[in-house]
Homo-oligomer: A and B are copies of this chain.
Amino acid sequence: MAARPANLRLANDIVEAAASLIEERGPEGLTMRLVADRIGYSPTTIYLYFKNKESLLDETVNRAYDWFADHLERVQTGGSAIERLRQGAHAYLDWGLENPGMYRLMFEWGYLGDISEDAIFARRASWRRTRNVIERGVEDGTLREGLDSATAADTIWVGAHGLTSLALSGRMFGNPGVANPAVVHARSHALIDALADSWEAAWRA
């Protein structure tokens, strides 16, 4: 990751500067020179710590994956299986709406280089937790017997991503253009609830 080991604090500052710029100006608005300005060094210094722009983005994205997974985990406060799934989907959507630049970089940017083993593990863990919630719901009778938890978990993640992605793109619900964020937010929450009701109904006998 670093061409020379050097100053760890500076490497960290670079990643944080990149992350804040991505949020301020979107992934396409990030330049090496802007990052350099923000940390108060010349652009070439960044290349002492990261091979190139892509590997800096890799590191930034990997941290964001961990942060995102923590956010999803922290929100699962119990309740019925369907309620926990609903909480998870809301948390997913809200994180995306609050971190649109980073969300787009994480899930919509063309093929990046490598995703770290840690980030892969975190993502699998989030998905695995969703499966566990579903399986426990099946056990306690909230959800229909014999439900395939892998497919159900995929469905939830697909739904949450589809909703978040369309909301962020401003191309939602047959109404192109950037809508009022508060309206998009409320509308998306309503749709998640409808989705959750649908899942719940589907999994009942």
Question: Hey, which bits of chain A sit against chain B, CB under 8 A?
Answer: 26, 28, 104, 107-111, 115, 119-120, 123-124, 126-128, 148, 151, 154-155, 157-163, 165-166, 169-171, 173-174, 176-178, 190-191, 194-195, 197-199, 201-202
Look across to chain B and name the residue whose beta carbon is closest to the beta carbon of A101. Answer: B110
Find out whether the CB atom of A120 lies under 8 angstroms from the CB atom of B176. Answer: yes
Establish whether residues A123 and B174, one from each chain, have CB atoms under 8 Å apart when the complex forms.
Answer: yes
A169 to B166, CA, bound (A): 15
Minimal beta-carbon separation of A34 from chain B (angstroms)? 17
Please report the C-alpha to C-alpha distance between residue A154 and residue B190 in the assembled complex, in whole angstroms. 11
Contact B169 A108 (CB under 8 A): yes
Cα distance, A42 to B199, chains bound together (Å): 56
Per the bound structure, the CA–CA distance linking A159 and B177 in Å amounts to: 20
